[in-house]
Amino acid sequence: QNTAVPSVWTSDRGTMAQETAKSRWPKLVQGMIDDVCTTGAELGPTPALDEIKSIQGKLQKLKEEIIGDAELRQLENDGSADIAAYNQMLEIGRLTWLHCPWLYGECYLYRRVQLLFSTSTSWKGYDVFKRQKESTLVMSQKAVEELATRFTQVVINPAQPVKTLDDELARLVFAEMTELALWGNATDLSLLTNLSLDEIQSLQGKAAIEKSQQNIVDNDMSEVWQYLRTTQSSKPKRHIDIVLDNAGFELFADVLYAAYLIESGLGTSITLHAKCFPWFVSDVVPKDMDFLLEHLRSIGFNSLATQIKIYFELGLMRVEVDPFWTTAYSFHDIIRKAPELFQRLQDSHLTIWKGDLNYRKLTRDGLWPHTAPFKSSLGPLGRSGVRILALRTNKSDTCVGVESEKKVESLNREAPEKGWVRDGKHAVISYSDGC
């Protein structure tokens, strides 16, 4: 069903795709230029300085290419297998920055930038977004403190261990923790609930959680809960995979979500999937996890940092990378292009996909009707046996799973110009059982 819907292109008028390509990409590359310039200014006259100056010049040219709507050219080979795939996808016709599939063009942009560093001598592992990621985490200190305190109250030192809660309370805690992970992907965290267990049990607490759910335009939380709760006693091995999105506050929220899933017994171990090189500005690379733990210690959350470390040491949590995540393929292609990874996801108790880009890749960035079922937008993944839970705040053109046309119309009225698909204040908790 609906396999023929096109993916959004950067030439599609009035789309987020077009706006991003025209105005955000040049600014994004300017941000990279500023970063390497700062790094260069910290160096004495060395070959490394000459090299970073040359990278700076190439970034400047890249920015001009985007503004001038140049043709996307073949990527040079840095020895990684993904280059051939990028170049092969270029063969669909003449693509330019402002006339290409958005998903492809954006992935290609980050891969082009990575090439500048991977083919250098002194800057191979350089993270051009490190400064930005780290300073954003430092600036979110208040939110980090609130979340750490909240998590300690509910999960680490609760009045009653999460594993022993009755069904109704356990469901409410699951709802709160899932929403924390969801809204961790938003820029605006004002929708976070912050309630005690007693408050959660009270009518007022439930009302607060329900209120924050008003902006969730497709919400399959109860289906996921049913599945996790009923399999908790029937399946001994309940490994969960979380495909991460951003570093900083979101990573912190995701790690705590993973810890909650283990402590509650809903899962028995967790793999956190990160990227192998800097990607979409703030996506997690493994080093971001080290910085998060250091940061927690530096602001006085030593025991929480130690607790997280212990999960890793015991093998209950681990961070992994796979080159598939940084290809331009949509996840519809995972079966053919990354069969081993796919197999692991098939074997997983539940796969959780964070954020907007993962959602775009799950849905092939397709311009589906907003009422299309989530499962059908997943293409072959919809019936592949992979259980998929997407936790995504809406920041692009695609959004499916809305219950009716009437609901779409009312969202369009409340948030004109498709604001609800793009503003990061609306979200989806979409689930497919893979069958």
Least distance in angstroms from the C-beta of 247 to Mg ion: 9
Least distance in angstroms from the C-beta of 143 to ligand F6P: 16
Query: What is the residue type of 150?
Result: R
Is 245 a residue that touches ligand F6P (CB under 6 A)?
Answer: yes
Q: According to CB under 6 A, which one of 133, 344, 395, 426 is a site residue for ligand F6P?
A: 395
Is 254 a residue that touches ligand F6P (CB under 6 A)?
Answer: no
One character per residue 292-331, x = contact with ligand F6P (rule: CB under 6 A): ----------------------------------------
Rounded CA separation 331/383 (Å): 13
Rounded CA separation 81/132 (Å): 29
The residues in 273-292 that bind Mg ion, with binding defined as CB under 5 A, are 280, 283
CB of 65 or CB of 283, closer to Mg ion: 283
The residues in 255-294 that bind ligand F6P, with binding defined as CB under 6 A, are 280
Least distance in angstroms from the C-beta of 358 to ligand F6P: 6
Rounded CA separation 430/435 (Å): 15
Is 39 a residue that touches Mg ion (CB under 5 A)?
Answer: no
One character per residue 342-381, x = contact with ligand F6P (rule: CB under 6 A): -------------xxx--x---------------------
The residues in 396-425 that bind ligand F6P, with binding defined as CB under 6 A, are 396
Is 134 a residue that touches Mg ion (CB under 5 A)?
Answer: no
Rounded CA separation 352/241 (Å): 6
The residues in 93-132 that bind ligand F6P, with binding defined as CB under 6 A, are 106
One character per residue 233-272, x = contact with Mg ion (rule: CB under 5 A): ------------xx--------------------------
Whole-Å CA distances, 317 to 11, 145, 182, 308, 431: 42, 22, 20, 9, 23
One character per residue 181-220, x = contact with ligand F6P (rule: CB under 6 A): ----x-----------------------------------
CB of 184 or CB of 205, closer to ligand F6P: 184
CB of 273 or CB of 360, closer to ligand F6P: 360
The item of ligand F6P, Mg ion, none sharing an interface with residue 112, based on CB under 5 to 8 Å by kind, is none
CB of 132 or CB of 269, closer to ligand F6P: 132
Residue numbers at the binding site for ligand F6P (CB under 6 A): 20, 106, 185, 245-246, 280, 355-357, 360, 395-396
Residue numbers at the binding site for Mg ion (CB under 5 A): 245-246, 280, 283
